[in-house]
């Protein structure tokens, strides 16, 4: 390990220790000035860091390293990139002693380091295509499924919806929303549209369809880095929304996204044989009930594993599932049969929508704070660079290598900040877009519920029971918060929509 000690205790010397020669020699001892470019010590520190002279830095305290927030951010960035650990020696001093807000802010930015690399590599190709995309033109290559190319003059190619393919895309999204897995969807589509089998529907092609933002009416490019760079770019280039190219509504897209992230965190959420898993709560202690499959021919059970006695509270799974699902079915039928219930349902939806907008507004404020900080940081960085390049005439840069390295580091830090600025701008844009999503009218809402229940009917009649079970899981997810059950088998269903 190569170690550097900086300003231990009250000494302002920093010591560079080479463990091989086991000798300590001071390299610098000056920390008088507070301005970066004239702070020789700090410049040398950066210089040594870049040369790989040490991989761990021991420093007495944060303010001993630098009292300047901007310098501190630059150093944090460099150390992170160069894989240098910083150890603070003052008792009680650790990473979190520093201004918590600055730490959090910077941690956000650091998440984007990997992206910086990717962006630098792809920057040139990106520019040309970005121009096209921003002008709602297709950048080249085969169109996404659901669209055809529309060749205009001077290579101005646009996308146009292909009606037949668009219908299949819609069906794929709806099947996914009704609980079908990509594998089941691929089978269903292959079977239903044999004339379309040149597409060779697979799990992956279904997955890529339900993840493709093109269907919202955008032209999206750079989703994947191609064969050379298969890493997925988190921020693809996107055109503005082209309304006539919209195949999937925002609302459906958001629902699909919700299910995808649910399955990512809980892969068996839809395929579990326990229909009420995660929803059943013990009425005595409030814990979620556990599930147990006792093997073939034996009963499946839900039980509370609270310390009182593990098998005290044990319920026959099939019995309780039938009871509760028929109860929910009853309530939904009830709901659909009466105008007054509709109103309740709709009001609950309006409330949810308002909550969502409130959350988005809060997120926007936070993003905006972050944005202001990045801008301020960027200005500082530019000022430093400007000052350093101004001194070029007075100082022989060739001689003062540390100045060179500092300038280099500042430039790199600047592009890091620029990319962060861009990312936050895109997030702000997306946030504004989501805030503009309109509240669905009562009429449309009614249509949607009717459509959903029809879907339930067709699925329960036509498809095998596994798909039906998956659908029930989604139905529960959308309607139920929890189901409280007590020892004496009293059941209470907690739902936004019905009591
Ligand atoms: Zn319990």
pLDDT tens by residue, 283-339: 888 889 999 888 777 888 998 887 666 556 788 998 898 888 888 877 777 777 777
Average model confidence (pLDDT) for the chain? 76
**DSSP string for 310-370:** TTSSEEEHHHHHHHHHHHHHHHHHHHHH-HHHHHHHHHHHHHHHHHHHHHHHHHHHHHHHH
- How many Å lie between the centroid of ligand 1 and the Cα of residue 40? 66
- Helix, strand, coil percentages, rounded to 5, for the chain: 55, 15, 30
Q: Of 105-114, 206-215, 291-300, where does the model show the most confidence?
A: 206-215
- Which of 139-143, 246-250, 407-411 is predicted with the least confidence, judged by mean pLDDT? 139-143
**Topology of the domain covering 129-260:** Hect, E3 ligase catalytic domain fold (3.90.1750)
User: For residue 476, is pLDDT > 90?
Assistant: no
- How many Å lie between the centroid of ligand 1 and the Cα of residue 58? 51
- How many Å lie between the centroid of ligand 1 and the Cα of residue 486? 8
Ligand 1 is an ion; residues with CB less than 5 A from it: 282, 284-285, 304, 306
Q: How confident is the model at residue 279 (pLDDT cuts 50, 70, 90)?
A: very high
Long-range contact list for 486-494, CB < 8 A, 24+ apart? Answer: 486/282, 486/283, 486/284, 487/283, 487/284, 487/312, 487/313, 489/315, 489/320, 490/283, 491/320, 491/323, 491/324, 491/327, 492/283, 493/324, 493/327, 493/328, 493/331
- How many Å lie between the centroid of ligand 1 and the Cα of residue 291? 13
- How many Å lie between the centroid of ligand 1 and the Cα of residue 305? 7
Please tell me the total number of residues recorded for the chain in this structure. 499
The pLDDT of residue 169 = 94
- How many Å lie between the centroid of ligand 1 and the Cα of residue 289? 8
- How many Å lie between the centroid of ligand 1 and the Cα of residue 490? 14
Q: Coil, strand, or helix at residue 411?
A: helix
User: For residue 36, is pLDDT > 50?
Assistant: no
- How many Å lie between the centroid of ligand 1 and the Cα of residue 295? 24
For 402-430, letters b (16+ CB in 10 Å) and e give bbebbbebbebbbebbebbbebbeebbee
- How many Å lie between the centroid of ligand 1 and the Cα of residue 303? 8
User: For residue 19, is pLDDT > 50?
Assistant: no
User: For residue 172, is pLDDT > 80?
Assistant: yes
- How many Å lie between the centroid of ligand 1 and the Cα of residue 487? 9
- How many Å lie between the centroid of ligand 1 and the Cα of residue 26? 65
For 88-111, letters b (16+ CB in 10 Å) and e give beeeebeeeebeeeeeebbebbee
The pLDDT of residue 260 = 92
- How many Å lie between the centroid of ligand 1 and the Cα of residue 308? 8
State percent of the chain over pLDDT 90. Answer: 15
User: For residue 53, is pLDDT > 50?
Assistant: yes
User: For residue 278, is pLDDT > 50?
Assistant: yes
The pLDDT of residue 247 = 95
Separation between Cα atoms, residue 399 and residue 466, nearest integer Å: 75
The pLDDT of residue 101 = 66
Separation between Cα atoms, residue 53 and residue 402, nearest integer Å: 14
CATH architecture of 3-110: 3-Layer(aba) Sandwich (3.40)
pLDDT digits (tens, 9 = 90+) for 366-404: 899 889 989 999 999 999 888 888 765 555 555 567 777
User: For residue 199, is pLDDT > 80?
Assistant: no
The pLDDT of residue 451 = 64
What is the average pLDDT across 459-463? 51
The pLDDT of residue 114 = 55
Give domain limits for the chain. 3-110, 129-260, 280-340+444-495, 344-437
pLDDT digits (tens, 9 = 90+) for 137-155: 887 778 899 999 988 877 7
**One fold for 3-110 and 129-260:** no
pLDDT digits (tens, 9 = 90+) for 125-138: 555 566 677 777 88
What is the average pLDDT across 3-14? 46
- How many Å lie between the centroid of ligand 1 and the Cα of residue 338? 37
Q: Coil, strand, or helix at residue 62?
A: helix
| 256, HSE (Cβ side, Cα atoms, 13 Å) | 26
């Amino acid at each position: 390990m190569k170690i550097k000690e900086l300003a231990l205790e009250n000494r302002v010397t920093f010591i560079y220790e080479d463990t091989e020669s086991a000798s300590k020699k001071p390299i610098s001892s000056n920390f008088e000035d507070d301005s970066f470019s004239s702070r020789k010590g700090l410049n040398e520190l950066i210089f040594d860091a870049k040369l790989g002279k040490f991989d761990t830095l021991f420093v007495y305290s944060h303010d001993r390293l630098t009292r300047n927030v901007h310098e501190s951010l630059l150093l944090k960035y460099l150390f992170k990139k160069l894989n240098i650990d910083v150890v603070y020696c003052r008792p009680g001093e650790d990473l979190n002693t520093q201004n918590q807000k600055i730490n959090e802010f910077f941690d956000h930015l650091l998440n984007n380091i990997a992206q910086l690399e990717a962006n630098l590599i792809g920057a040139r190709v990106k520019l040309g295509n970005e121009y096209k995309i921003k002008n709602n033109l297709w950048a080249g290559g085969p169109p996404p499924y659901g669209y055809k190319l529309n060749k205009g003059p001077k290579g101005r190619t646009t996308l146009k919806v292909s009606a037949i393919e668009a219908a299949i895309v819609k069906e794929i999204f709806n099947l996914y929303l009704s609980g079908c897995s990509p594998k089941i969807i691929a089978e269903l589509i292959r079977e239903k549209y044999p004339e379309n089998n040149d597409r060779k529907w697979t799990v992956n092609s279904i997955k890529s369809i339900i993840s493709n933002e093109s269907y919202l009416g955008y032209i999206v490019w750079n989703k994947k880095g191609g064969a050379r760079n298969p890493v997925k770019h988190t921020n693809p280039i996107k055109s503005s929304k082209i309304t006539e190219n919209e195949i999937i509504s925002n609302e459906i897209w958001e629902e699909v996204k919700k299910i995808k992230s649910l399955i990512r965190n809980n892969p068996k959420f839809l395929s579990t044989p326990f229909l009420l898993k995660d929803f059943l709560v013990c009425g005595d202690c409030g814990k979620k009930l556990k599930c147990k499959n006792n093997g073939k021919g034996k009963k499946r059970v839900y039980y509370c594993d609270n310390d009182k006695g593990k098998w005290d509270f044990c319920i026959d799974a099939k019995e309780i599932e039938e009871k509760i699902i028929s109860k929910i079915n009853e309530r939904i039928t009830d709901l659909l049969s009466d105008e007054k219930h509709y109103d309740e349902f709709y009001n609950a939806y309006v409330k949810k929508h308002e909550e969502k907008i409130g959350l988005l507004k809060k997120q926007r404020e936070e993003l905006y704070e972050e944005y202001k900080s990045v801008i301020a940081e960027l200005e500082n960085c530019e000022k430093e660079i400007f000052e350093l390049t101004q001194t070029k005439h007075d100082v022989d840069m060739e001689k003062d290598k540390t100045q060179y390295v500092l300038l280099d580091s500042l430039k790199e830090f600047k592009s890091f900040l620029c990319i962060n600025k861009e990312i936050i701008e895109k997030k702000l844009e997306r946030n504004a877009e989501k805030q503009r999503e309109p509240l669905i009218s009562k009429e449309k809402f009614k249509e949607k519920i009717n459509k959903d229940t029809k879907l339930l009917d067709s699925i329960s009649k036509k498809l095998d029971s596994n798909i039906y079970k998956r659908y029930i899981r989604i139905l529960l997810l959308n309607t139920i918060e929890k189901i409280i059950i007590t020892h004496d088998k009293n059941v209470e269903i907690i739902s936004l929509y019905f009591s």
